[in-house]
Structure 1
Amino acid sequence: MNTNDKSNEAACSRRSFLCNTAISVAAMQLGRTALADEPAATAAKSGTHNSFTSLKQIDAGVLNVGYAEDGPANGPVVLLLHGWPYDIYSYVDVAPLLASKGCRVIVPYLRGYGTTHFLSSETVRNGQQSVIAVDSIALMDALKIDKAIIGGFDWGARTANIMAALWPERCKAMVSVSGYLIGSPEANKAPLPPQAELQWWYQFYFATERGRAGYDKYRRDFAKLIWRLASPKWNFDDATFERSAASFDNPDHVSIVIHNYRWRLGLAEGERKFDDLEKRLAAAPVITVPTITLEGDANGAPHPDASAYAKKFSGKYAHRVINGGVGHNLPQEAPQAFAKAIMEVDSL
């Protein structure tokens, strides 16, 4: 690896999905056929639904998980994972699209969100990257799901990446917004250029007790600001925001979010029982399952250039840029494009 390669790798590690501040807006030829850019028409039609067909609860691992379900019980399973500061309503328009194609769609609240809660008050409120993937595997076990197509963005994309890397036998295929997001606290020690560091202002804010108190006090204001910065062309209304904002009232929300970001910077320890998983992830394992990576043409959040992670996918692979002013919350802003990728990824 030459010096430039090492520099690119170090930059890619921050938040596990920052390589540089440039946005890739063209599909790539990656030694395999990459699909052409999605037209703006496929990015439209968000906001059609404001509720899910069914909301359920189930004990899974250390959690009682709240989740939405849609589609036939015997259909091929699609597990959709949300990010921060978002929730299951990022998929409120995606779920019925996939259900109409015969898929069984499962959309869980991550730990610290919505109706998902810990079974014991003694459980560590841990937000490190591997534990959220462990939660997701536990949910599949509880629902007796052997294998699923996994889709996600932000924290959800990282979790999907980890599941595909560590448990490929459980992942039929994957759709990942902003590509390959696996990282480690050790890799995150490398400083970035000032302009790149600026985009991580909240990460440094959360490193302080003032930041923890500020996030706790101003959860909705904070989330709305992030939504606007990350999706500058998404004109969401108050009702859309409030549907998701209610999930931040979860009593463990602040603890999980703060631990997640402090752990990334090496300022908080993870649980020792996950050390082996984190060691494997720190090696940046290649993902072998069929994958489509997506990027919005107006993503205002820090994210890697598509060329930085192309070689991390050794199986069938394609990259798509979704046009039409689509930002960071791609499933909610462009549900048709996201659902199309889910339906097509298994047949690449």
Structure 2
Amino acid sequence: MSHKTVRAGALDIAYLERGPADGWPCIMGHGFPYDVHTYARSAEILVGAGARVIVPYLRGYGPTRFVEAGTPRSGEQAALGADLLALMDALGIARAVVGGYDWGGRAACIVSALWPGRVIALVSGNSYNIQNIPRSWEPRVPAEEAALWYQYYFHSERGRRGLERDRRAVAWQLWQMWSPTWAFDEPTFAQSAAAFDNPDFVDVVIHSYRHRFGLVPGDPAYANIETRLVAQPPITVPAVTIDGDSDGVDPGTAHHAHHFTGPHEHRVWQGAGHNLPQERPEDWAAAVLDARAMAERAGWTFHSD
């Protein structure tokens, strides 16, 4: 699939665009370690429903590049949210349906929480995807800690070297563990794994998993956003949140409901793992359309921030 590129903040963001230029805007973000191909099928369905679908390669993935060599290769949550907002500004999109899972869902949640006037509705895999960094060192139950082995691995230089040595092998292992019921094949994986060849991939990934535990400083350019996120701001926009009951990394997020103070529906998909849009594209597209319809029924009015 051919991509377009736009200068947006600190990045030249590469993105896929499907549908008419005057379609209702829908921006979907991929996670780690995945890429834009996760939305190939769901984008087709949404275009058929009149959407203009935009799927960016996140910082550190695919053809997306930093504009300046000296910019910190940050993977912190505030940077992801700022990137999404900058993309919307660069494309002249005032408001959009936004969504995603994992890193991409985090960006969508941040924009929804901090700039609700820019969001029509939200679809979020794993619900409230904003990190609570001040509480990151509180231990979880052992089964959940075991599922986060890769994060602790990346805290060490051994983990950095392991990712540098064979990023594809690390990603393959995570795909298998996180989506145990998804029968993906080697060509499907290879299609997405090409995005990991980005020269900034390792630096961005390592920074992301260290920053969320307060082990490394963030990029000062995003300090104000990180400060606002410490308060764990509520999400007021209409939202559909989703878990897969076979997700190998997240045990379920129904308990996040109190973070959503606007119209909200939580769904649990039977037999689905972590890569929700690619495992269940028809259901993902339906969730996007339902979230948009929810906003219309609620008479959602947009306010200035």
TM-score by length of 1: 0.83
Q: For the residues of structure 2 that align with 1:57 and 1:93, how far apart are their CA atoms? A: 22
How much does 1:273 deviate?
3.0
Deviation at 1:298, TM superposition (A): 1.5
- Alpha-carbon displacement from aligned partner over 1:206-231 (angstroms, at most 9, x marks no partner): 01111101011110111011000000
Whole-Å separation in 1 of the counterparts to 2:71 and 2:228? 24
Q: Deviations over 1:97-142 (max 9, x none)?
A: 1011110000000000000001111111011101111011111111
Contact 1:184–1:278 (CA under 8 A) maintained in structure 2: no
1:62–1:118 CA contact under 8 A, matched in 2: yes
Map residues 164-313 of structure 1 onto 2, 5 A cutoff: 164-306=112-254, 308-313=255-260
Offset, 1:160: 0.9
Q: Does 1:347 align with 2:296?
A: no
Asked if 1:94 corresponds to 2:39, the answer is no
Following the alignment from structure 1 to structure 2, what is the Cα–Cα distance between the partners of residues 241 and 108?
18
SS at match of 2:188: helix
Secondary structure of 2:70's aligned partner: coil
Letter in 2 for 1:312: H
Tell me the SS of whatever aligns to 1:169.
helix
Q: Which amino acid aligns with 2:60?
A: G
Quick check: 2:243–2:253 contact (8 Å CA) kept in 1? Answer: no
Is the 8 Å Cα contact of residues 19 and 51 (structure 2) preserved in structure 1? yes
1-structure distance, mates of 2:221, 2:73 = 14
Deviations 1:47-79 (A, max 9, x none): xxxxx4x52111111111110000010010000
Equivalent position of 2:265 in the other structure? 318
Query: In the alignment, is residue 107 of structure 1 matched against residue 55 of structure 2?
Result: yes
What runs of 5+ residues in structure 2 fail to find an aligned partner? Answer: 295-305
**Aligned partners of 2:141, 2:44: CA distance in 1, in Å?**
43
**Any idea what SS the aligned residue of 1:222 has?**
helix
Measured after TM superposition, the shift of residue 303 of structure 1 is 4.2
SS in 2 for 1:176: strand
Give SS of 2:293's match: coil
1:59 to 1:76, Cα distance in 2 relative to 1, 3 A: same
Q: Please give the alpha-carbon distance, in whole angstroms, between the structure 2 residues aligned to 1:133 and 1:256.
A: 14
Higher helix share: 2
Conserved in 1, the CA contact under 8 Å of 2:148 and 2:249? no
SS at structure 2 position matched to 1:186: helix
Pairs aligned (count): 294
Which of residues 273, 279, 282 is equivalent to 1:336? 282
* Contact 1:63/1:119 (<8 A) preserved: yes
Report the counterpart of residue 9 of structure 2 in structure 1: 61
Question: For 1:77-88, what aligned pairs fall within 5 Å after superposition?
Answer: 77-88=25-36
Amino acid at match of 2:291: V
Contact 1:178 1:303 in 2 (8 A): no
CA positional deviation for 1:187: 1.2
Post-superposition offset of 1:339:
0.3
- Which amino acid letter does the alignment assign opposite residue 273 of structure 1? A
Which amino acid is the alignment partner of residue 327 of structure 1?
G
Query: Residues of 1 paired with 2:221 and 2:34: CA distance?
Result: 28
Aligned-partner SS, 2:99: strand
Matches of 1:253 and 1:75 in 2, distance apart?
32
What displacement does 1:301 show?
A: 1.4
Q: Distance between the aligned counterparts of 2:113 and 2:107, measured in 1?
A: 10
> One-letter code of the match for 2:268?
V
Residues of 2 paired with 1:109 and 1:253: CA distance? 11
- For 1:327, what is the secondary structure of its paired residue? coil
The separation in 1 between residues aligned to 2:267 and 2:252, in whole angstroms, is 14
Shift of 1:277: 1.3
Residues 12-67 of structure 1: per-residue CA shift (max 9 Å, x gap): xxxxxxxxxxxxxxxxxxxxxxxxxxxxxxxxxxxxxxxx4x52111111111110
Distance (Å, rounded) in 2 between the aligned partners of 1:330 and 1:247: 19
CA distance, structure 2, for counterparts of residue 159 and residue 198 of structure 1: 25
When the two chains are superposed, the root-mean-square deviation of aligned CA atoms in Å is: 1.1
Structure 1 position 241, deviation (Å): 0.3
Distance 1:281 1:119 in 2: 26
Q: TM-score, normalised by structure 2?
A: 0.94
Following superposition, the deviation at residue 88 of structure 1 comes to 0.4
